[in-house]
Amino acid sequence: MEREATFDRVEPRSPLVDPFHRAITYLRVSVTDRCDFRCLYCMAENMTFLPKREILTLEELDRVCSAFVERGVRKLRITGGEPLVRKNIMTLFRLLSRHLDTGALDELTLTTNGSQLARFAGELYDCGVRRVNVSLDTRDPDMFRTITRWGDIAKVMEGIRAARDAGLKIKINTVALKGVNEDEIEDMMVWCHDNGMDLTLIETMPLGEIDGDRTEQYLPLSMVRARLKERWTLEDIPYKTGGPARYVQVAETGGRLGFITPLTHNFCESCNRVRLTCTGTLFMCLGQEDAADLRAPLRASESNGPLHDAIEEAIARKPKGHDFIIDRRHNRPSLSRHMSVTGG
């Protein structure tokens, strides 16, 4: 308790604003690079994961997150890998929930593959989580096994039901994959809306070496939207969740459909986000390699002064936007690191 009190006694610092006058109000935090799936577009099947000594403890993650909350971050999203495979992960949620109680934080949420939701949905709600994103690219059991390699769709569906029963709102995230699930998108949308869930479609992102050719997976969402408009009435709406998705209302279903388009439409002009990896590396942009080491100042001093200084220096380098591109000529990713390292 003495140690925790020391962290809280820090001189007030100004809110974080980047060089382009964008307030940084959203922190995405990867708590592990490990996952119980091996999705085709995300990971190679035989991954080498980080040694434990390099990964921040749950207490260290709380300390960094709390420093960002002190600087004006209003939304925390816990990610991975798969965040719910991290041992004792609910300890972190319980620690961070105090910022909801004080009003310093507007939202504490997570992105998950759903495999562990049946175990944790009730605890998540008790910790103040009210909304979760579930990554689900298909409802077909055979296709699900093909995409995830190791996944069991029955566990995911059980998790979604448990989350809804616990009172959590759910948004389904679906990566649009050419020749894989593009024919299921309409059915996925109808299923989501029939069950009171939003759906967000995501273009595959050129991150990390994978088994196979990512250029063959790329499906422009501009094409998907044009196809949907042939049958459905899509009305642009100003709805926002704090992330990069642009939403439409589907008149016939009454539900919301989001589009995240890092390749066909750069969404960087309003970026309010930074990403912390499980090793304490801060990426100011998902699509750039520039990063800041927060683990060193975190572990070098019990005072948060050096940590705040490192955060300020990093935000001062936040770029205007990313440089994602599908490299069809050389068949290589824009960046070598996997999405599971940075956080989904």
Q: What is the mean pLDDT of residues 97-110?
A: 98
Per residue in 138-159, pLDDT (tens digit) is: 999 999 999 999 899 999 999 9
Question: Token pair of 54, please?
Answer: 């390099």
Which of 36-40, 42-46, 222-226, 298-302 is predicted with the least confidence, judged by mean pLDDT?
Answer: 42-46
| Predicted confidence (pLDDT) at residue 5 exceeds the cutoff of 50 | no
* CATH 3.20.20.70 for domain 2-342: yes
Instruction: Specify the pLDDT at position 344.
Output: 54
The encoded tokens of residue 241 equal 């969740």
Positions at the binding site for S-adenosyl-L-methionine = 41, 81, 135, 205
Confidence at residue 215, expressed as pLDDT on a 0 to 100 scale: 64
What does the pLDDT average to over 170-195? 96
Four-residue CA torsion sign, 299, 300, 301, 306: negative
- Count the alpha carbons within 13 Å of 155 in the hemisphere toward its beta carbon: 16
Task: State how far the Cα of 81 lies from the Cα of 170, in Å rounded to an integer.
Answer: 19
Q: What is the DSSP letter of 243?
A: S
Which one has a higher pLDDT value, 172 or 207? 172
Taking the C-alpha atoms of residue 44 and residue 38, their distance in angstroms, rounded to an integer, is: 7
What is d(CA 64, CA 311) in angstroms, rounded to the nearest whole number? 10
Q: Does pLDDT of 6 surpass 60?
A: no
Q: What is the DSSP annotation of 138-169?
A: -S-HHHHHHHHSS--HHHHHHHHHHHHHHT-E
Predicted local distance difference test score (pLDDT) of residue 269: 73
Q: Does the pLDDT at position 207 exceed 60?
A: no
Among the listed ranges 112-116, 197-201, 271-275, 287-291, which one has the minimum average pLDDT value?
287-291
Q: Which helix (H) or strand (E) holds 41?
A: none
Looking at residue 177, the DSSP 8-state letter turns out to be B
Binding-site members for GTP are 28, 77, 111, 171, 273-275
Backbone angle region of 120, left / alpha / beta, with phi > 0 → left and psi within -120 to 50 → alpha = alpha
**Over the Cα atoms of the chain, what is R_g?**
20
Q: Which of 98, 78, 82, 97 is nearest to 28 (CA)?
A: 78
Binding residues for [4Fe-4S] cluster: 35, 39, 42, 268, 271, 285
| Residue 241, pLDDT above cutoff 90 | no
pLDDT tens-digit map of 17-49: 999 999 999 999 999 999 988 888 777 777 778
Binding residues: 28, 35, 39, 41-42, 77, 81, 111, 135, 171, 205, 268, 271, 273-275, 285
pLDDT in tens, 184-200: 999 999 999 999 999 99
The pLDDT, as a whole number, for residue 214 is 52
Predicted pLDDT at 320 = 81
- DSSP per-residue letters across 268-307: GGG--EEEE-TTSEEES-TT---EEE-HHHHHH-SSSHHH
Average pLDDT, the chain: 88
Q: What is the structure's pLDDT at 158? A: 98
Looking at residue 333, its pLDDT comes to: 44
Res 3: pLDDT:
45
When pLDDT is averaged across residues 173-181 and rounded to a whole number, the result is 93
Interval 115-142: pLDDT, tens = 999 999 999 999 999 999 999 999 999 9
Residue extents of the structural domains in the chain = 2-342
| Contact present, 311 and 275 (Cβ < 8 Å) | no
Which pTM value belongs to this model? 0.86
Percentage of residues in the chain with pLDDT exceeding 70? 85
